[in-house]
Structure 1
Amino acid sequence: MGLLRTLLTLPIALPLNGIGWVAGQVAQAVDQQWYDPRRVEAALLALERRLEAGEITEAEFEAAEAEQLAELAAIRAARG
């Protein structure tokens, strides 16, 4: 009965398993990009450039920098 059930449900089970696999691959790629410290480091450099160009004030820079540094610390903690 197990083999018959498998054969009969194959047209439904196979696409569902494929969708699950694709969703897992997408989630893994998103996690890799989201938890990439280079993303935060680039944001910190951009903040510094904006400060030097006079686009933001020192107070705005410090607030944004604190957020970015907290995010970087969280990423490093999550990575171990």
Structure 2
Amino acid sequence: MGLIKEVLLLPFAPVRGSAWVMRELVREAERIHYDPAAIRAELARLEEQLDAGEITPEEFDRQEDELLDRLETATRASAAPDEWTT
């Protein structure tokens, strides 16, 4: 039965392969996006921009809140690693 199923589904192999690639790309993008070290580096870069006068304090606060939310999500996800790896 397995061989017949594989032969019948063979025309769909490129679609299945593409879906797998897309899942892997999304998984890697999420891993990078929620990497605590990367988030901390972005926070440091953001503070440097504020100190250099490249951004306003309001823009700093807005971006800092977004980064801290991501860091909190990453911290929670490290306690439950299957949160975004479905």
Taking structure 1 as the reference length, the TM-score comes to: 0.68
Over residues 17-63 of structure 1, what are the superposed CA-to-partner deviations in whole Å (9 max), with x where a residue is unaligned? 32232223222212211221222212211111111112223343233
Structure 1 residue aligned with 2:16: 17
4+ residue runs of structure 1 moved beyond 6 angstroms? Answer: none
Matching residue of 1:32: 31
**CA, structure 1 residues 5+76, in 2 after alignment: closer, same or farther (shift >3 Å)?**
same
Identical positions, percent:
33
Instruction: Check 1:6–1:49 CA distance in 2 against 1; reply closer, same or farther (3 A cut).
Output: same
Cα distance 1:62–1:20, how it changes in 2: closer, same or farther (>3 A)? closer
Specify the structure having the higher radius of gyration (Cα).
1
Q: How many aligned positions are there?
A: 79
Superposition CA RMSD, Å:
2.5
- In the alignment, what sits opposite 1:44? 43
CA contact (8 A) 2:39 2:70 kept: yes
Residue 49 to residue 5, structure 1, CA distance change in 2 (3 Å): same
Aligned partner of residue 55 in structure 2, secondary structure: coil
CA spacing shift, 1:79–1:4, aligned 2, 3 Å: closer
Unaligned runs of 5+ in 1: none
Give the aligned partner of residue 83 of structure 2: none
